[in-house]
Structure 1
Amino acid sequence: MRKLGLDYGDRRIGVAVSDVFGWTAQGVNTIERRRDGSEMDVIRSLVKEYEISEIVVGLPKNMNGTVGPRGEICIEFADTLREMLNLPVHLWDERLTTVSAERILIEGDVSRKKRKGVVDKMAAALILQNYLDANSTR
């Protein structure tokens, strides 16, 4: 079964999905956050569509390893997902993944306008790929 990677941000949630073997992560979507919480319905639909068995949520930590206010928000989001979907939800250190995603896109000569649309799903793919690599049984 596949794993879902999420980069939870203030305005958008980057989404990535693993292949069925859990070897590679691909960015698939960006979900706009809404005041009505409808992004949870979108996540529920993605879980069903891709037959997700586990979820990985990026946990932004401070450079010294502590969890700040942004991290606390992500922990609450992960807890909500766990309760709503009844699936294992793992928090994964996401320090510098958005910065890495930005750098990759800049090096690829992607315009600023296009970068804005894909940086979140690319960050989600990096978070999920790092998790898959660290937990690989190959």
Structure 2
Amino acid sequence: MLRYTAMRILAVDYGERRVGLALSDPMGFLASALKVIQRQSDKQVAAEIGDVVREYEVERIVLGNPITMSGEVGQKAQHVEKFRALLMNVVDIPVELFDERLTTVSAQRVLLEADVSRKRRKQVVDAVAATILLQHYLDAKSH
């Protein structure tokens, strides 16, 4: 009999105004949008993520790393690295950076193709981007 180890993974698509969250299923195969946090401060976002980690018994966080298309670490990526350090002081689980290039573009495309209204797209695009980020991560880890 095959045994699978349940391991929930949380993806975080960090933005200046909104932070999208996506959660894996317990088996670590599928990503689903969870919610969007309206960002007031990094401390507030880290605290809310800590609550999600405890509520869903998350064992790993994948934080989108906004490196440039040329692979360079820009100002946004530096800010994400600082946020990662803060988050690691709030949660006692690994927080891994993962390339998020084009996840928001992909999320916008998916929502446009689904004919989601402009107002609704703005509300959910970050959670959809986090879902795409997490699914890419899960797919990369399964190979």
- Same fold, judged at TM 0.5 (above): yes
1:130 aligns with 2:136: yes
Deviations 1:76-97 (A, max 9, x none): 1112212221210110100010
Q: Which residue identity lines up with residue 73 of structure 1 in the other structure?
A: H
Amino acid at match of 1:96: L
Offset of residue 40 of structure 1: 2.1
Distance 2:130 2:42 in 1: 23
Structure 2 match to 1:25: 31
Runs of 4+ in 1 over 6 A off after TM superposition: none
In the TM superposition, what whole-angstrom CA distance separates every residue of 1:16-52 from its partner, at most 9, and x where no partner exists? 0000010011011000111483222211110011100
Judging changes above 3 Å, is the alpha-carbon distance between structure 1 residues 69 and 28 closer, same or farther for their aligned structure 2 residues?
same
Matching residue's letter, 2:128: M
Paired positions, count: 137
**Does residue 108 in structure 1 map to residue 120 in structure 2?**
no
Which residue, out of 13, 16, 29, partners 1:10?
A: 16
Q: For residues 36 and 86 of structure 1, what CA distance do their matches in structure 2 show?
A: 17
Distance 2:62 2:139 in 1: 13
Instruction: Give the aligned residue type for 2:134.
Output: L
Structure 2 residue aligned with 1:60: 66
Mapped to 2, the partners of 1:59 and 1:69 lie a distance apart of 11
User: TM-score, normalised on structure 1?
Assistant: 0.95
Percent identity, please: 48
Counterpart of 1:37 in 2: which secondary structure? helix
Q: Which runs of 5+ in 2 are unaligned?
A: 1-6
Report SS of the residue matched to 2:142.
Answer: coil
Are 1:75 and 2:81 counterparts? Answer: yes
1:98 maps to 2:89: no
SS at match of 1:31: strand
The residue aligned with 1:40 is 46
What's the TM-score once normalised by structure 2's chain length?
Answer: 0.92
